[in-house]
Structure 1
Amino acid sequence: MTPNHPAQPAEERPHPHRVSDLIPRKTLAAYLARIESHRRLLETIRHLLPPPLAARCRDCVAASDTLVVYAESAAWASQLRFYLPRIINELAQDGHGRFRHGKVRTLPLTLAAPHVPAPRPNLHRPRPTTIAALDAAARASEGEIGAALARLCDTLRRLPR
């Protein structure tokens, strides 16, 4: 026993509360049933997808007549959109027929992580002969292409050696 922490009788010590003490059992049972239903729906959706795409299917939300499926990135979401009508039809056949509409959204793996830009590569000026060739092409070209090539030459000349 230290002077800063006097002994407390066991009944007076603070103790963590159990979830069942904070939420009525019926309410807790209803929430657990909804969680299990959600887990089964997500598992069914993943089962209907090819393995690489199923691994990138992050979550789903079932709201009245709309099913929202979340993919890990925009690239995977575009592939998932292709399968969405089939998923809705299969769910209807399996007894989940309440969905008439489907949406696909992205849900990245790390929402809270700050975005760190990729390091820029070391840019070096191309050989003078390359810049001269581009400059000649800029003078020989007319309109927007000639102007774009001229801007490119100016940018390349400003790069470090």
Structure 2
Amino acid sequence: MKRPSRAKSVADILDKPEGLLRGLLKQSNNLQSINESVQSLLPEELKGRCMVSEYNQTSLIITAESAVWSTRLRYFSSELLAKLRKKGHYSLANIQIKTKPSQ
């Protein structure tokens, strides 16, 4: 009977450059970083009412709490895109606004 291999620590798993968990952690950190940037640029009434739900180098998807906040965010989205580009997200081409499904 083959003896089970030694359990790996989380650090060992994260240190693998090709590991799936490392990729997820990187994606999560990128999402958190861009969300913090977006929140800092939003008008006061929108802060906390919307959050980045998806991000790649050219597209940003922001989900708002309700249709009201989605509409207000749409009016601000072109200004937000310009401000994000000034902050270093040069390849960002568009922002899509979605509404969180009601519960």
The TM-score by the shorter chain falls in which range? 0.7 to 0.9
Q: Is the 8 A contact 1:71 1:107 kept in 2?
A: yes
Name the SS of the counterpart of 1:97 in structure 2. Answer: coil
- Corresponding letter in the other structure for 1:20: V
Please state if 1:47 is matched with 2:40. Answer: yes
Deviations 1:93-143 (Å, cap 9, x if unpaired)?
1111111122100114xx6x4xxxxxxxxxxxxxxxxxxxxxxxxxxxxxx
Q: Point out where structure 2 has 5 or more consecutive residues left out of the alignment.
A: 1-6
TM-score (norm 1): 0.50
Equivalent-residue separation in structure 2 for 1:79 and 1:70 (angstroms): 12
Count of aligned pairs: 93
Structure number with greater CO (CA < 8 Å, separation at least 6) is 2
Unmatched runs of 5 consecutive residues or more in structure 1 = 1-16, 114-161
- Per-residue deviation at 1:71? 0.3
Aligned pairs for 1:4-153 within 5 A = 20=10, 24-25=13-14, 26=16, 27=19, 28-108=21-101, 113=103
State the AA in 1 paired with 2:70.
A
CA RMSD of aligned residues (A): 2.5
Q: Which range moves more in the overlay, 54-63 or 90-99?
A: 54-63
Does the Cα contact within 8 Å between 1:58 and 1:107 map onto a contact in 2?
A: no
Give the Cα separation in 2 of the matches to 1:40 and 1:92: 14
Structure 2 CA distance for partners of 1:18 and 1:72, relative to 1, 3 Å: farther
TM-score by length of 2: 0.74
Find the aligned partners of 2:35 and 2:89 in 1 and give their Cα distance.
Answer: 12
CA distance in 1, matches of 2:48, 2:8: 35
Identity across the alignment (%): 25
**Which runs of 4 or more aligned residues in structure 1 lie more than 6 Å from their structure 2 counterparts after TM superposition?**
none
Secondary structure in 2 matching 1:58: strand
- Aligned equivalents of 1:87, 1:18: Cα separation in 2: 43
Bigger proportion of residues as strand: 2
Structure that is richer in helix per residue = 1
